[in-house]
Structure 1
Amino acid sequence: MKDLTLQTLIAVFEDMFGRGLFWAMVAAAVVVTLAYLFVLVRDRAVSWRKFLLAQLAMPVGAVAAVVFVFQITNSGLRNIGGPIDVIVLLGVAVLGAVGAAILVYTVQSLVARPR
C-alpha cells in the first residue's frame, strides 16, 4: 500500500468491520452530528450543566470504543505489537470519548427542551 487515499481507507474499514456495519456506523455518525448541529442552532447557547454531564460519559465512551474494536477484530491487549498500535488504540479511545459526549449532550437537549 503505497498511497493512502480515501478509497483505500474505506476499503480497509469495510474489510475490518464488514460492509454493513461500517456504513451503519457512518450513517449513525452523520445522524448524531446533524442532530447535534440542530440542537446548537436551536438553543443558540451551550448548556454547561448538560455539557458537564456529557463529559462524565467520556470515560465510558472511550472504554466502550476500545472494547468494541477488540471484539470486532478478534484481538486484545496481548496483540499490541508496537508503538503504532498504541497510538491507534489511543485514537480509538479519544474518538469514542468525544462521540459519547456529543451523543449524551444531544440526547439530553432533544429530550429536555430549553426553558
Structure 2
Amino acid sequence: MKHLTLETLIAVWEEMFGRGLFWLMTGVAVVVTVAYVFVLLRDRHMSMRKFLLAQLSMPFGAIAAVLFVQGITSSGFRDIGGPVDVLVLLAVAAAGAIGLAILVYTAQSLLRKQD
C-alpha cells in the first residue's frame, strides 16, 4: 500500500467494525454533527454552563471509546507493542472525548431552554 486513500480507510474500518456497525456509527455522527451546527446557529452563542458540563463528560467519552475499540478488535491492552499503537489509542480516546462533549452540549441545548 503506497497511498493512503479515503477508500482504503473505509475498507479498513468496515473490516474492523463490520459494514453495518461502521455505517450506523457514521450515520449517528452525521446526525449529531448536523444537530450541533443547528444548535450553534439557532443560539448564536455558546453557553458556558453547558460547555462546562460537556467538558466534564469528556473523560467518560475517552474511556468508553477505548473500551469499545478494544472490545471490537481481537487484541487487548497487553498487545500494545509500540509508539504507533499508543498514538492510535490516544487518537481513539481523543475522538471519543470530543464526540461525547459535542453530544452532551447538543443534547443539553435541544432538551433545555436558554440559560
Q: CA RMSD in A?
A: 0.8
Aligned to 1:2: 2
Aligned to 1:98: 98
Aligned to 1:19: 19
- 1:3 to partner: Cα distance: 1.3
Q: Deviations over 1:47-98 (max 9, x none)?
A: 0000000000000000000000000003211010111000000000000000
Structure 1 runs of 4+ with >4 Å offset? none
TM-score by structure 2 length?
0.97
Q: Is the aligned partner of 1:50 residue 2:50?
A: yes
Q: Percent identity?
A: 69
Alignment of 1:67-106 (within 5 A): 67-106=67-106
Q: Distance in 2 between matches of 1:20 and 1:104?
A: 25
Task: Give the gaps of 5 or more residues in structure 1.
Answer: none
TM-score by structure 1 length?
0.97
| SS of residue paired to 1:45 | coil
Equivalent pairs counted in the alignment come to 115
